[in-house]
A = this chain, B = another copy of it.
Amino acid sequence: MAKKNAFYAQSGGVTAVINASACGVIETARKNKDKIGKVYAGRNGIIGALTEDLIDTSKESARDIAALRHTPSGAFGSCRYKLKSLEENRREYERLIEVFAAHNIGYFFYNGGGDSADTCLKVSQLAKSMGAPIQAIHVPKTVDNDLPITDNCPGFGSVAKYIAISTREASFDVASMAKTSTKVFVLEVMGRHAGWIAAAGGMASSEDCEIPVLILFPEVNFSQGKFLKAVKEKVKKFGYCSIVVSEGVHDRSGKFLADQGLKDAFGHAQLGGVAPVIANMVRDKLGYKYHWAVADYLQRAARHIASKSDVEQAYAMGKAAVELALKGENSVMPTVVRKSNKPYRWSIGKAKLSRVANVEKMMPKSFITKDGFGITKKCRDYLAPLMQGEDYPPYGKDGMPKYVQLKKVAVKKKLDKDFKVK
């Protein structure tokens, strides 16, 4: 049989650098045309595979594929769609394998977090048992930095950089206004369970640029009394205070400070709006004038200030995924292995998907200061290299970054049955 085609899909929340991984996958596959046929991408992630809605990436110019490296978001569309367990919906997995077989797909590159690592693993297992083997390689991606084994996840370093810079900038602003106006600034950041992104707010302050920052981690049960005392102390000492609050902050009973009662397609609680809750608390109890911001998508889409380390690693993970496939590997994920901090050196390792799937890496306790509101030196040493370097996109004469919008030409369908995604 002729050489096999590859399938690539983006899963879950997108990042500033997930397209750099796509770029790594496609460019590396193109360099190995003798071994890999075409790279088909799922339109809107795995839904594209289920509905046989594939994009032929060979129709995209080399220039446009190269531009993916500096384009945020998911160029082929992503989705929040978690495949059920094999027992609950075996039909979905079988359909994937049918679609892959119909398009002579032998390589499955799935770019996502813990849930998609699990899907990746199951597809590989079932394909084997069905006699239609697929090499399934997971490409790590998550702003939440919560995948195990890998030192860090592509996507995280750029959010960290954005949050740290934004916190420093807003803090400079508040410092100049504090005498007669705003004394407390609150920035709400992503992170439901793990405080990695919130921790990055601590990088706003450094030895050569001291800034009073308090961090509210999801790992630390919120205590109003302790928090207000800390704010008051900072304002007394510095005249102002910045607060970086994770959307997932909750009290001792587990109640989120801002629970809107919504759930997303993965069944996760949909949060938002904890910043105004904290801000109003500060005003009501301490009387300080406040401002608050909610970064939301801006933080994970901010390709304009992406970390160079992050972009390089995102690309490298995509490239490594293809290289692992060519070496005959299956059910694995390339990882980042940290070699040293100063200077920052890293290499590429690999992890078995059975050890990655559905495992959530939390912040080590040793990364949070004893008072629960700050980050330790150990945390700083971990974060700094991930935020290192700038990787600016090109800009047009209108002052705007040149991000690419692909043509996304559909592959002709080969199956006669439609598949309804539930």
Binding site for B on A (CB under 8 A): 10, 13-14, 16, 44-45, 47, 71-81, 161, 164-166, 168-170, 172-182, 185, 187, 203-204, 206, 208-210, 264-265, 272-273, 275-276, 291-298, 300-305, 307, 309, 342, 380, 384, 386-390, 392, 395-403, 405
Contact B301 A169 (CB under 8 A): yes
Identify which of B77, B298, B342 contacts A176 (C-beta below 8 A).
B77
> Are B387 and A180 in touch, CB under 8 angstroms?
no
A403 touches B168 (CB 8 A): yes
Q: Which of A176, A179, A302 has the most CB of B within 10 A?
A: A176
Taking A78-B176, A164-B400, A173-B301 as given, write out 4 further A-B residue pairs in contact, using a Cβ cutoff of 8 Å, ordered by the A residue number: A73-B176, A80-B180, A169-B301, A181-B264
Provide the residues of chain B in CB contact with A168, threshold 8 Å.
400-401, 403
Give A344's nearest chain B residue, CB to CB.
B397
**CB-CB < 8 A to A45: which residues of B?**
179
Contact in complex: B164, A399 (CB < 8 Å)? yes
- Tell me the smallest distance from the CB of A48 to a CB of chain B, in Å: 9
The 10 closest A-B pairs by CB, nearest first: A387-B399, A74-B176, A73-B172, A293-B296, A169-B301, A44-B179, A173-B301, A384-B398, A170-B297, A79-B180
List residues of chain B with CB within 8 A of the CB of A386: 399
Q: How far is the CA of A13 from the CA of B176 in the complex (A)?
A: 9
Q: How far is the CB of A292 from chain B (nearest CB, A)?
A: 6
Q: How far is the CB of A65 from chain B (nearest CB, A)?
A: 16
Known: A74-B176, A168-B400, A172-B72. A298 touches B293 (CB 8 A): yes
**A203 touching B14 in the complex, CB below 8 Å, given contacts A176-B75, A292-B272:** no
Give the shortest distance, in Å, between A216 (CB) and chain B (any CB).
18
* B72-A169 in contact (CB<8A): yes
* B390 and A172 contacting across the interface, CB-CB below 8 Å: no
Contact partner of A173 among B14, B79, B185, CB < 8 A?
B14
Question: Do A172 and B403 have beta carbons less than 8 Å apart?
Answer: yes
Of B296, B304, B309, B398, the contact of A292 (CB 8 Å cutoff): B296
A397 CA / B307 CA spacing, docked (Å): 12
| A to B CB contacts below 8 Å, 9 in the list | A74-B176, A76-B176, A81-B180, A172-B403, A272-B291, A309-B399, A342-B397, A389-B395, A389-B399
Chain B residues with CB under 8 A of A276:
272-273
Shortest Cβ gap from A141 to chain B (Å): 12
> How far is B298's CA from A275's CA once the two chains are assembled, in angstroms?
14
Q: What residue of chain B has the Cβ atom nearest to residue A177's Cβ?
A: B78
Q: Are B170 and A301 in contact (CB under 8 A)?
A: yes
Partner of A305, one of B72, B297, B305, B397: B305
Contact in complex: B293, A295 (CB < 8 Å): yes
Chain B hits for A80, CB < 8 A: 177, 180-181
Contact of B169 with A302 in the complex, beta carbons under 8 Å:
yes
Contact of A291 among B297, B305, B405 (CB under 8 A): B297
Residues in B with CB closer than 8 Å to A179 are: 44-45, 47, 77, 79
Chain B residues within an 8 Å CB radius of A182: 297
Whether the pair B177, A14 counts as a contact (CB closer than 8 A) is yes
A278 to chain B, nearest CB (A): 13
> Contact at B298–A405, with CB atoms within 8 Å?
no
A203 to B10, CA, bound (A): 28
A93 to B127, CA, bound (A): 83
Q: Is the CB of A209 within 8 A of B293?
A: no
CB distance from A363 to the nearest CB of B (A): 19
